Amino acid sequence: MPNSQTPNALGASPPLTPLTPLTQRFISHFGEMGSRWGINRTVGQIYALLYVLGQPLNADQIADYLTFSRSNVSMGLKELQSWRLVKLLHQPGDRREYFEPPKDIWDIFKTLLEERRRREIEPTLSMLRDALLENPANDIDKQAQQRMREMYNLIELSSSWFDDVQRLSPETLASLMKMGSKVKKLLDVRDKFRGTSSSSKTHGDHPDVQLTVQLKD
């Protein structure tokens, strides 16, 4: 249970609101899941605390809430900053640093995906590019390069799709997700139209235009 903080030379902190069993369960779960997402338990719980409380906290408050050491909290906050999942704030009359996550859940989602791509996907693409530029010395290398090329093309296609998704507004992205299997039906209709003569179609009737309009709606 966090204790009330007393005023000090850096500024006064108001008493901390005790965590409810619900918020404690949420924070504990994120700590347990952290290792599966490539972060440690401490980082996961710090982020969950900041997210679920929805207010800026300084390192001392975070340490008090989670009963972590100040050094562990500092390292965890640096890790979250490197992922761009928390931002640094200052409050009037207080020299301490405060931290909060992005307020928009879609910004958090996009940032997390972008950082994972930068850390995990781009190094693989770089390695594959270099490997595909080499002259195969034998049939085994030729077969290996063919398999690498298939992997490279798939990852590159996924990356292009990701770039397109990143440019969508949250409203459009949410609409696209809600459509689910309807997207495939729209694409099937588009392919049928492409298989017919376009001479009788006006620009406004083109299936690509219809698909764009429906996604925006």
Indicate yes or no: pTM above 0.75.
no
Bridge-based pairing of strands 94-100 and 87-91 is antiparallel
Instruction: Answer for the pair 88, 80: CB distance below 8 angstroms, yes or no.
Output: no
Instruction: Give the rounded percent of residues in the chain with a pLDDT score beyond 90.
Output: 45
CB count within 10 Å of CB 148 equals 16
Residue 121 Rama label (left phi>0; alpha psi -120 to 50; beta)? alpha
Residues 153-203: tens digit of each pLDDT: 999 998 888 788 778 787 887 787 777 767 667 666 666 766 665 545 554
Instruction: Answer for the pair 65, 2: CB distance below 8 angstroms, yes or no.
Output: yes
Residues 71-98: tens digit of each pLDDT: 999 999 999 999 889 999 998 989 999 9
